[in-house]
Every structure is written in structure tokens, then in C-alpha cells.
Amino acid sequence: MEPESSHRPSLLERLSHWLMREPEDREQLIELLHGAYENNLMDADALAMIEGVLQVSEMRVGEIMIPRAQMDIVDINDAPETFIPHVIETAHSRFPVIDKDRDDVIGILLAKDLLRHYAESDSDIRGMLRPAVFIPESKRLNVLLKEFRSNRNHIAIVVDEYGGVAGLVTIEDVLEQIVGDIEDEYDFDETEDNIIRENEGVFRVKAGTEIEDFNEILGAHFSDEEFDTVGGLVVSRFGHLPKRGETVRFDGFQFSILRADSRRLHAVRVTRLSPEEEEVQLPLV
């Protein structure tokens, strides 16, 4: 007689057992997946990723795009010496290029192509542009991801029903809906410092920075009675979980979202405002 342990079900068999009942709708499928997680058949990361995949199949571009007013763009009529500092400061790898009007996107400029501007004195910025891809706000994310992969494209310009530019979306924005926030070479999550000075009066701040530490370093006076961290304070002022590029001003500071995903805020750029700058109203999106 074989020992009882030899009949112990494998991980695949146990998972198959939980999925044996065919779900009739999405809710039942989620319930089965959560049951598998609770019975240690998958870890939390795997469950979150599967849920992200299901979510992407139902979401549309308009829900995750960076709004038009928050797009970092380059005007083809500006001299490179004028816009290159902006390219360096924002640290994006791709920029929509317009011809005076934000509705007139004529192409995409890759930051790495600007090296030719320094290597070749007669380089033409217009000749460096890659074709821009235009998509409607209603396009589903799973369809867009497939197109990104097949066309080897990383950015698309989102247009509204009238043909005007509504915003932009990148392949990173779509993937973050599945796997959470994606780090790049400009992230500083692995550094020990929660606050890094970029320029005079400008700082990069991790969302998890305690308000007490923030106050001490930046000379602020925010209360930590209701919120412990900068992230909690900023999200409360937005009234929603902000997206990358959104900006809010209060109490002498401007907070611009550097990194955020569908789950949480990661990092912000904080700028100390002058009295004159405080009076300037931010544009409505």
C-alpha cells in the first residue's frame, strides 16, 4: 500500500480544484481567485496582477491618459537651447512636438535624438521627429496594449470626438494598470534620502516622507495630526488619487505628481512659491 503522502495533490491540482467550477461572470471569477489566494495557491502579487489584467480589458484610454493641460511638450518653433533645459528637467524619454498650437501635434521627439544636435552643428530638429500616433479616448486599454506591442510604439496622442488633442498615453501607463508602478532610471525609491534637492527651492520628495521631517527640511508648518505622510496630505488636497503630472498649490508650496499608479502615490516634486506665484491660478484641466 502506497503511503498517504504520495497522493497529496500538487499545486497545479489544487489550483485546478478551485477553478473547476466555471464562473458565470467576472465577479465569480474574482471570488474564485481570492479563494485561491486565501488557500495559499497564489501570492498577493500574482492576484493583483491577474486583477489588473481583468481591469485593463474593461478600461478605456480616457481613464488613464495624461490630460492635455499637463502634457510636457516641445514647440518646433523654439530654439533647441530654449527647450532642452525643459527636456532635462522633466526627464521624459519622449515628447509630443507641436507647431504653436497644442492641437497641432506634428510628431514625437525622442530625447536621445537630441544628442545629434550637439554632435552635428547643422542638425534639423524637424527631421528628427518620429510619426505621432493618434487614438480616440474610447479605445480599450487591452486593444491599445496590443497595438503598442505590434507597432513597437511607446506613446500615443489621445484625441476627443472633435479631433482636438485631449491628452497622451504611454505603454508604461497601460502596463502600470497591470503590474503597478514601473520604476525607471530617474526613480529614487532605492535611495536612503526621502527628500532630494533638485534646484533652489525645488525638491523631489517620497510620498512616504513623514510630515515632521518635511517641515524640518523645507521650513514648512504642516500639521501631522490628521496625516502622517506627505502622500496622505497631498492626496487629501486633491480629493482623489492623482495621476502623474497633476499639480496642486497650497500653503506656499506647489506639489506636482512625479510618480503614481492606480493604487498609490509614490513621489512628488515640491516647489517653494513666492508670494507672487501663490496668487497665480493653475489652469483648469
Of 234, 177, 176, 175, nearest to 206 by C-alpha is 234
pLDDT digits (tens, 9 = 90+) for 102-151: 899 999 999 888 887 777 766 688 888 999 999 999 999 999 999 998 98
β-strand 155-159 against 165-170: which pairing, if any?
A: antiparallel
Q: Alpha-carbon torsion 211, 213, 216, 217, what sign?
A: negative
Position 107 scores a pLDDT of 95
Residue 169 domain-assigned (yes or no):
yes
163-215 pLDDT, tens digit per residue, is 899 999 999 888 887 776 544 444 555 456 789 888 888 999 998 899 999 99
**pLDDT at residue 285 above 50?**
no
Based on the structure, what is the number of domains in the chain? 3
Report yes or no on 190 lying in a domain: no
pTM above the 0.75 mark? Answer: no
pLDDT of 54-83, one tens digit each?
878 888 999 888 888 888 899 999 988 888
Question: 96: which strand partners?
Answer: 108
Of the three residues 179, 205, 239, the one that is the final residue of a domain is 179
105 and 162 both lie in a single domain: yes
Grid coordinates standing for 167? 491628452
Instruction: Based on the fold, state whether residues 17 and 79 are members of the same structural domain.
Output: no
Q: Are 266 and 259 in contact (CB under 8 A)?
A: yes
Higher pLDDT, 1 or 127: 127
246 and 167 within one domain = no
81 in the same domain as 39:
no
- CATH number, domain of 262, equals 3.30.465.10
- Verify that 93 and 159 share a domain, yes or no: yes
Percentage of the chain modeled with pLDDT above 90: 36
The domain in which residue 72 lies consists of 62-179
Q: Which residue has the cell 537630441?
A: 114
